Amino acid sequence: MRIISGILKGKHLKIPKNIKVRPTTDQSKEALFNILNNRFNFNEIKVLDLFSGTGSMSFEFSSRGVKTVYSVDKNYNSIKFIKNFCIENDLNIKAVKADIFKSKLQFNVRFDIIFADPPYSNREEYYTELISILREKLNHSKGSLLILEHPETINFTKYRTVLEKRKYGGCLFTFIIL
């Protein structure tokens, strides 16, 4: 796993064995960031990375010039790794240990992009609940772009706020207005 672009382009991430990962592939990340690069000026946006795991998406955003990145995961080892990587590489990422489903976590920040790569589930209700929770807890970010990574078996056709879907390998990115 590596950072694809920006000031840390090509830097490999040495993930500790105590962090279980299902990383977003380099091909998927590159395609996603090509889309986002055409829609956003990275120097002017704020990003929330939920279920951040290794932090690779947070690192990618920060490497590309995003000044405000929050990285949230419930795993202590993930947060510790992200914090250490940020110190070693002089990145300004706020790593927060929290379970988005259980915590009272709320931000007084308006995020432009919310990236969520939750543990995969084949239950549509899981994703429906997640979107509902995000709309409640991120009330300052209404109108923001939620990018939800999920298996291709899940369909969001009932949501009028879905902008588009992109398939890369065995995963889908669904773009939803929060």
- What is the structure's pLDDT at 140? 87
Judge whether 54 lies within some domain: yes
CB 88, CB 12: distance < 8 Å: no
- pLDDT tens-digit readout, 26-52: 788 889 999 999 999 999 999 999 999
Tell me, what CATH number does 99's domain have?
A: 3.40.50.150
Euclidean distance between CA atoms 48 and 57, whole angstroms: 10
Judge whether 21 lies within some domain: no
User: Per the structure, how many domains does the chain have?
Assistant: 1
Judge whether 150 lies within some domain: yes
Whether 147 shows a pLDDT value over 90: the answer reads yes
Judge whether 19 lies within some domain: no
- C-alpha distances in Å from residue 88, one per residue of 58, 84, 112: 15, 6, 27
- Packed helices 76-89 and 56-63: angle between N→C axes, nearest 10 degrees: 20
Complete edge-to-edge strand list for the sheet that includes strand 113-116? 93-97, 68-73, 46-50, 113-116, 145-151, 171-177, 162-168
Whether 159 shows a pLDDT value over 80: the answer reads no
Indicate the Cα dihedral angle 90, 116, 24, 112, nearest 10°. -60
- pLDDT tens-digit readout, 104-141: 877 888 999 999 999 888 888 899 999 999 998 888 88
Range of the domain at 63: 26-119+128-177
Tokens of 84: 């250490």
Whether 14 shows a pLDDT value over 80: the answer reads yes
- pLDDT tens-digit readout, 61-98: 999 999 999 999 999 999 999 999 999 999 999 999 99
